[in-house]
């Protein structure tokens, strides 16, 4: 098991340099300048917004080299900021004026559920306008409360310096998450004009996440080492917290030290390469049954940075009752939340796993168990082969995923929408090359395309693929124009089955034997997205035969434009993630 060749997650820490600005202490400056310098100092390279908000600050940002990405909706701006944050490991900034606040708040649901550090800024009318039926304004605070870690008003010039710093601190520390700053002036104009009598202070740890890497307690660590060594059939379940901590390569070292199979949550995909002999796939509700079976047979499950929610545990049926559980999490109140644990380690995933590797005795390898889990994975793969190699027309999504697997270059970022788009990609697209990254919707349909544009802004030199259904793509189709305007050249693969395929079974069940037009509830007229893309000036390729997939992917990789690959697929293909345990 060559550890180097099978490590997937990028080992590189994010660039820690904030763009500190030479600024004479105690020189007064405008709120606009102060915000722009703070963003620059914290390493922000892009902001995503809908006009009109903080125009003064946006003008200053141009001077400082921050790109201003004007989007077609506030939700798309939030999703772009989310994709940017997940890839850059820095907060993503999105902004909207007062009347756009509700739309922006709606866009924070996904980063909140996905634990992503998005900083949302909205304008709000000055106090003199309140309680008098002011145009276009409702209370913002209650809308942002359920989707943020930190939700505050900036009421005065004196508050701006410390609340801006606190925004970065809250977004990046502990479990990352969205924050909201509601600034004065419905388009932030009062804030732009603040006179700030304070220097710009950049706190380097909070320019990125993880901002802090706490270490676990030693006695508990020893207990975990003993429990892992004694277990006969242990499994690691690695989640988004492991990815946030860049712990992938260390988790692979831990797995190899004792031959422990590794399953991942959807957010944890990429912890280990899919061709690693210890990789059993994505576990839970959207999953491979191979991973579910392995976890169901385990006598010990080590959860690393996963929320143990209903998705990763298939409605809390995995691991089975009575299985020993150990948990590592940066948030101590997650330890034991859903499963009684033998021991919990509060700590950063990377640091904690490195400590475990240091203390483990490798003579306790679980060779037989690892071999058994490989047989389970092989059985799953064999069962998928006919679908992966199918020449059927309309195209089967499994075949599409196979072709994508073969073409995806090293360092690719794959951005998946929710529903079947998550299931197809997590189970059928294998990461078999180095440093491939997977980010996915935390559940909100339509997230992936704008998020992929944000991801590309964060990593312009890496190939970025978006995988979405047509239902998901319709949401933010207009952002194709944004992509073209700024040269954000991503490749969007539309699994186009002219319907909300995931919903068809549920609709049929609701109808039962009753007559009626079921299609009204889940079917679209159908569109040629390649033509739409071409009309907007992007590259669009329509693919109706499986033989056309590979050449189209190659053309897309060479293109110097945003690309849409419109793949006509069979709506009757349903992913099989049913648990086999
Ligand atoms: C905001 C939001 N609304 C509704 C849903 C429910 N939902 C999940 S998947 C899905 C269908 C997705 O259709 P499409 O993107 O075309 O993919 P397909 O199922 O056809 O592969 C829907 C409506 C959701 N997840 N999010």
Atom of ligand 1 nearest to the CA of 445: 26
Flag residues of the chain having pLDDT under 50. 1-7, 10-11, 16-20, 22
Atom of ligand 1 nearest to the CA of 469: 15
The span from the CA of 129 to the CA of 138, in Å, is 12
Q: What tokens does 352 get?
A: 């904690």
Contact status, residue 539 vs residue 562, Cβ threshold 8 Å: yes
503 lines ligand 1 (CB under 6 A): yes
Protein residue with least CA distance to atom 8, ligand 1: 419
Protein residue with least CA distance to atom 17, ligand 1: 469
Cβ within 8 Å of residue 365, ≥6 positions away: 257, 258, 259
CA 497 to ligand 1 centroid distance, Å:
12
Tell me which residue of 112, 168, 45 sits closest to 460, measured CA to CA.
45
Quote the DSSP letter at residue 395: B
Looking at residue 576, its pLDDT comes to: 79
The span from the CA of 181 to the CA of 248, in Å, is 33
Looking at residue 496, its pLDDT comes to: 98
Protein residue with least CA distance to atom 4, ligand 1: 445
In the block, which residue shows the tokens 């606009």?
32
Atom of ligand 1 nearest to the CA of 417: 15
497 lines ligand 1 (CB under 6 A): yes
CA 372 to ligand 1 centroid distance, Å:
36
pLDDT tens-digit series, residues 263-309: 999 999 999 999 999 999 999 999 999 999 999 999 999 999 999 99
The span from the CA of 326 to the CA of 345, in Å, is 8
CA 16 to ligand 1 centroid distance, Å:
38
443 lines ligand 1 (CB under 6 A): yes
Quote the DSSP letter at residue 332: G
CA 468 to ligand 1 centroid distance, Å:
10
Contact status, residue 211 vs residue 169, Cβ threshold 8 Å: yes
pLDDT tens-digit series, residues 335-391: 999 999 999 999 999 999 999 999 999 999 999 999 999 999 999 999 999 999 999
470 lines ligand 1 (CB under 6 A): yes
Protein residue with least CA distance to atom 18, ligand 1: 501
Q: What tokens does 162 get?
A: 């410390």
Looking at residue 360, its pLDDT comes to: 96
Q: Which of 502, 504, 575 to mutate to test the pocket of ligand 1 (most atoms within 8 A of CB)?
A: 502
CA 113 to ligand 1 centroid distance, Å:
17
pLDDT tens-digit series, residues 214-254: 999 999 999 999 999 999 999 999 999 999 999 999 999 99
562 lines ligand 1 (CB under 6 A): no
CA 415 to ligand 1 centroid distance, Å:
15
CA 51 to ligand 1 centroid distance, Å:
29
pLDDT tens-digit series, residues 313-329: 999 999 999 999 999 99
Buried b (16+ CB within 10 A) or exposed e, 19-57: beeeeeeeeebbbbbbbbbbbbbbbbbbbbbbebbbebb
CA 530 to ligand 1 centroid distance, Å:
21
Tell me which residue of 128, 40, 46 sits closest to 81, measured CA to CA.
46
Contact status, residue 420 vs residue 518, Cβ threshold 8 Å: no
Tell me which residue of 557, 565, 505 sits closest to 532, measured CA to CA.
565
CA 504 to ligand 1 centroid distance, Å:
11
418 lines ligand 1 (CB under 6 A): yes
Contact status, residue 492 vs residue 468, Cβ threshold 8 Å: yes
Looking at residue 351, its pLDDT comes to: 98
The span from the CA of 432 to the CA of 222, in Å, is 34
Tell me which residue of 542, 548, 561 sits closest to 407, measured CA to CA.
548
Beta-bridged to residue 297, according to DSSP, are none
Angle, in degrees to the nearest 10, between helices 448-458 and 74-88: 50
250 lines ligand 1 (CB under 6 A): no
E strands, 97-200, are 118-124, 150-154, 179-184, 195-196
Beta-bridged to residue 301, according to DSSP, are 235, 325
Going 340 to 343 to 347 to 351, the CA torsion angle's sign is negative
């Amino acid at each position: 098991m060559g550890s180097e060749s099978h490590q997937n997650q990028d080992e590189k820490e994010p660039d820690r340099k904030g763009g500190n600005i030479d600024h004479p202490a105690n020189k007064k400056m405008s709120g606009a300048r102060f915000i722009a310098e703070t963003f620059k100092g914290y390493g922000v390279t892009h902001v995503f917004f809908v006009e009109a908000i903080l125009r003064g600050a946006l003008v200053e940002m141009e001077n400082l080299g921050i790109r201003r990405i004007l989007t077609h909706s506030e939700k798309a701006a939030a999703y772009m900021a989310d994709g940017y944050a997940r890839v850059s490991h820095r907060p993503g900034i999105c902004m909207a004026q007062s009347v756009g606040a509700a739309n922006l708040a709606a866009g924070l649901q996904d980063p909140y559920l996905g634990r992503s550090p998005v900083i949302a800024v909205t304008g709000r009318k000055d106090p003199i306008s309140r309680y008098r039926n002011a145009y276009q304004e409702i209370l913002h605070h209650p809308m942002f409360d359920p989707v943020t870690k930190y939700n505050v008003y900036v009421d005065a010039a004196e508050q701006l310096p410390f609340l801006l710093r606190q925004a970065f601190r809250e977004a990046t520390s502990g479990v990352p998450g969205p924050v909201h700053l509601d600034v004065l002036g419905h388009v932030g104009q009062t804030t732009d004009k603040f006179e700030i009598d304070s220097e710009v202070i950049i706190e380097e740890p909070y320019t990125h996440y993880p901002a802090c890497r706490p270490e676990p307690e030693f006695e508990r660590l020893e207990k975990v080492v003993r429990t892992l060594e004694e277990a006969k059939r242990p499994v690691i379940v690695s989640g988004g917290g492991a990815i946030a901590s860049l712990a992938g390569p260390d988790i692979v070292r831990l797995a190899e030290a004792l031959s422990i199979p590794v399953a991942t949550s959807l957010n944890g995909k990429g912890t280990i390469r899919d061709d690693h002999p210890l990789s059993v796939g994505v576990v839970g509700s959207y999953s491979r049954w191979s991973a579910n079976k392995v976890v169901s047979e385990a006598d010990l499950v080590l959860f690393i940075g996963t929320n143990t929610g209903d998705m990763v545990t298939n409605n809390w049926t995995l691991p089975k009752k009575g299985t020993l559980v150990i948990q590592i999490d940066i948030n101590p109140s997650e330890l034991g939340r859903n499963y009684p644990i033998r021991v919990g380690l509060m700590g950063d995933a990377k640091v904690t796993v490195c400590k475990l590797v240091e203390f483990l005795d490798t003579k306790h390898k679980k060779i037989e168990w690892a071999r058994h889990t490989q047989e389970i994975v092989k059985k799953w793969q064999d069962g998928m082969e006919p679908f992966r190699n199918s020449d059927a027309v309309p195209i089967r999504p499994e075949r599409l995923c196979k072709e994508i697997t073969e073409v995806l270059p090293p360092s690719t970022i794959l951005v998946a929408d929710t529903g079947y788009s998550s299931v197809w990609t997590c189970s059928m697209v294998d990461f078999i090359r180095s440093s491939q990254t997977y980010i996915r919707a935390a559940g909100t349909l339509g997230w992936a395309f704008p998020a992929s544009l944000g991801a590309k802004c964060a990593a312009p030199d890496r190939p970025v693929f978006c995988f979405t259904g047509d239902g998901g793509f319709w949401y933010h189709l207009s952002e194709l124009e944004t992509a073209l305007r700024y040269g954000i050249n991503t490749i969007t693969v539309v699994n186009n089955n002219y319907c909300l395929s995931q919903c068809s079974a549920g609709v049929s069940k609701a109808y039962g034997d009753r007559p009626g037009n079921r299609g009204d509830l889940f079917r679209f007229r159908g569109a040629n997205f390649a033509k739409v893309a071409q009309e907007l000036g992007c590259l669009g390729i329509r693919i109706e035969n499986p033989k056309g997939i590979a050449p189209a992917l190659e053309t897309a990789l060479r293109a110097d434009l945003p690309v849409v690959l419109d793949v006509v697929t069979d709506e009757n293909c349903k992913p099989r993630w049913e648990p086999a345990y």
